[in-house]
């Protein structure tokens, strides 16, 4: 009976994924635009807090008949507008059935949250199960999923064994050593830095990571390709055939708003190696390569407004309607049709196009940088790429650093426990980082416990680089 149930699930998931892939880009975009208008209408009719928000922005009750009206008249909202005053919750939020809250990291200085009904959670669970079945074959292989996410973020009930550890290295290494060998594959979900540092500790403990068939789903911060390559080296120093994917969630919308696929990774890696052609496709040259993501237009309508990504939740039953919400991430939205007509000469663009025909979303992240006296901008993403440029230096740092502008500019890097700074190590880091930031600034390496921005690593909060 259990076998038949899994066969049925696999059939349904496969059919769902195929339907996602077979939908044309024009059809997807049209449906998403229509749903965006319906989501606005539902929010206006059903949500007193949203109507109050519209009044504050000066909205004149203009009829929204098409997507042009939607973009012209519906105001863009921001985190402080929605979450600056939360007194509306007690007045308008239904107590039955009990809603579920997903809290943000608060790294921007303002906490935000998503409010999800059980029906919405069930839909998200089925969606994630379909993706996990497609990319990780969890219905065909005995799979263990280890959730190392912080902030008490729990994974939904997926079709695999799940163990929740939070960002605890000792717990993770125990599981990798004792439980993972009993499964055909292990999927590790966690913060980039926690995963990197924990895997290094595991290797130092003698855990044979290359025998565990480890797959990684990372998130929370920018993932440079140098770190992806380094992690693959940690998992198998010869050939790593597993997946190392990044997923971008925004607590207001859920854990999986934007997702990498093997195809978007290949396209990103190609763009990084071919900056001239990349500029031809994706626009002005950037100081660092953005993340390349797919998303599902059936659930979200995505716009690019003044170089920032604006999101509309298309769920007309949403407990907290978020219409044209700007979470503060710089980015671009590239129509799928634009990718179809690119001529790359000898390179077959068809092999680089994602299978899901949604617009390709490029995420640069928050607009954070420091500026030298000569007006040269240095971005944290440039430093992140340099940290993992060479295997010899990647293993020496926790990944935490600070671009300090007090009393002159300097780059301060935290070393791992037991590593002491010396001139040779400093020069290794300088060489790796300078080729990415193209400006010479003082570099200071700190022993682990002497790093001035915390006595130890706290994976419950995002690192602050500025």
Percent of the chain clearing pLDDT 90 (strictly above)? 45
* Entry pTM: 0.91
Secondary structure (3-state) at 455:
coil
What's the whole-number mean pLDDT along residues 391-409? Answer: 89
Going by their DSSP bridges, the two strands 214-219 and 185-191 should be labelled as parallel
Secondary structure (3-state) at 102:
strand
Residue 1 has pLDDT above 60, yes or no: no
Digit-coded pLDDT (tens) for 118-164:
877 888 888 888 888 999 999 999 999 999 998 667 888 889 999 99
H or E stretch at 413: strand 410-415
> Can you give 264-316 as a three-state secondary structure string?
HHHHHHHHHHCHHHHHHHHCCCCCCCCEEEECCCCCEEEEEECCEEEEEECCC
User: Where residue 455 falls among pLDDT bands split at 50, 70, 90?
Assistant: low
DSSP annotation string for 27-58: HHHHHHHHHHHHHHHHHHHH-HHHHHHHHHHT
Q: Residue 198's Cα: distance from chain center in Å? A: 20
DSSP annotation string for 209-241: GGGS-EEEEEESS---HHHHHHHHHHH-SS---
Torsion of CA 181, 216, 435, 399, to 10 degrees: -80
pLDDT of residue 254: 79
pLDDT of residue 314: 95
In angstroms and rounded to an integer, the radius of gyration of the C-alpha atoms of the chain is 23
Q: Give the whole-angstrom CA distance, residue 255 versus residue 246.
A: 12
Digit-coded pLDDT (tens) for 39-79:
999 999 988 888 888 888 888 888 999 999 999 999 999 88
In sequence order, which ranges of 307-437 are alpha helices (DSSP H)? 336-340, 380-387, 391-394, 423-437
pLDDT of residue 379: 93
Residue 201 is classified by DSSP as: H
Task: Answer yes or no: are the C-beta atoms of 437 and 352 closer than 8 Å.
Answer: no
pLDDT of residue 122: 83
Task: Answer yes or no: are the C-beta atoms of 336 and 356 closer than 8 Å.
Answer: no
Q: Give the whole-angstrom CA distance, residue 425 versus residue 241.
A: 32
The tokens for 100 are 């579920």
CA angle 164, 165, 170 (to 5 degrees): 155
Q: Give the whole-angstrom CA distance, residue 117 versus residue 321.
A: 12
Digit-coded pLDDT (tens) for 281-336:
777 667 899 999 999 999 999 999 999 999 999 999 888 889 999 988 999 998 88
- Between 330 and 254, the higher pLDDT residue: 330
H or E stretch at 20: helix 2-22
- Between 68 and 110, the higher pLDDT residue: 68
- Show Cβ contacts of residue 120 under 8 Å, excluding neighbours closer than 6 positions: 315, 317, 318
Going by their DSSP bridges, the two strands 308-313 and 410-415 should be labelled as unpaired
């Amino acid at each position: 009976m259990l076998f038949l149930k899994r066969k049925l699930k696999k059939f349904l998931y496969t059919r769902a994924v195929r339907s996602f892939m077979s939908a044309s880009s024009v059809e997807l975009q049209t449906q998403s635009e229509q749903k965006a208008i319906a989501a606005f209408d539902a929010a206006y009719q059903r949500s007193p807090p949203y109507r109050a928000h519209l009044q504050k922005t000066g909205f004149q009750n203009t009829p929204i008949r098409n997507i042009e009206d939607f973009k012209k008249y519906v105001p863009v909202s921001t985190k402080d507008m929605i979450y600056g005053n939360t007194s509306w919750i007690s007045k308008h939020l239904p107590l039955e059935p009990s809603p579920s809250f997903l809290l943000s990291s608060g790294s921007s200085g303002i906490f935000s949250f998503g409010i999800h009904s059980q029906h919405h959670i069930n839909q998200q669970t089925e969606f994630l199960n379909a993706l996990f079945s497609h990319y990780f074959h969890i219905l065909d292989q005995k799979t263990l999923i280890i959730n190392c996410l912080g902030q008490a973020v729990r994974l939904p009930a997926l079709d695999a064994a799940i163990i929740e550890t939070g960002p605890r290295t000792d717990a993770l290494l125990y599981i990798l050593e004792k439980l993972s060998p009993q499964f055909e594959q292990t999927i590790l979900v966690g913060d980039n830095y926690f995963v990197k540092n924990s895997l290094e500790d595991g290797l130092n403990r003698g855990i044979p990571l290359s025998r565990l068939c480890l797959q990684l789903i990372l998130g929370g911060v920018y993932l440079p390709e140098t770190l992806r390559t380094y992690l693959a080296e940690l998992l198998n120093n010869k050939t790593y055939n597993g997946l190392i994917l990044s997923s971008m969630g925004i607590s207001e919308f859920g854990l999986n708003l934007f997702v990498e696929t093997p195809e978007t990774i290949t396209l990103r890696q190609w763009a990084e190696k071919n900056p001239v052609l990349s500029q031809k496709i994706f626009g002005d040259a950037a100081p660092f390569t953005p993340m390349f993501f797919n998303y599902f237009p059936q659930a979200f309508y995505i716009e690019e407004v003044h170089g920032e990504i604006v999101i509309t939740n298309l769920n007309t039953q949403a407990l907290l309607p978020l219409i044209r919400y700007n979470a503060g991430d710089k980015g671009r939205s590239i129509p799928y049709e634009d990718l179809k007509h690119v001529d790359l000469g000898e390179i077959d663009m068809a092999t680089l196009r994602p299978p899901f025909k949604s617009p390709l979303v490029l995420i640069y992240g928050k607009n954070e940088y420091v500026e030298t006296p000569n007006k040269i901008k240095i971005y944290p993403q440039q430093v992140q790429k340099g940290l993992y440029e060479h295997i010899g230096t990647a293993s020496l740092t926790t990944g935490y650093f600070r671009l300090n502008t007090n009393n002159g500019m300097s780059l301060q890097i935290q070393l791992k426990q037991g590593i002491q700074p010396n001139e040779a190590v400093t020069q290794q880091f300088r060489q790796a980082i300078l080729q990415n930031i193209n400006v010479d600034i003082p570099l200071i390496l700190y022993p682990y416990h002497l790093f001035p921005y915390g006595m130890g690593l706290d994976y419950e909060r995002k690192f602050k680089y500025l």
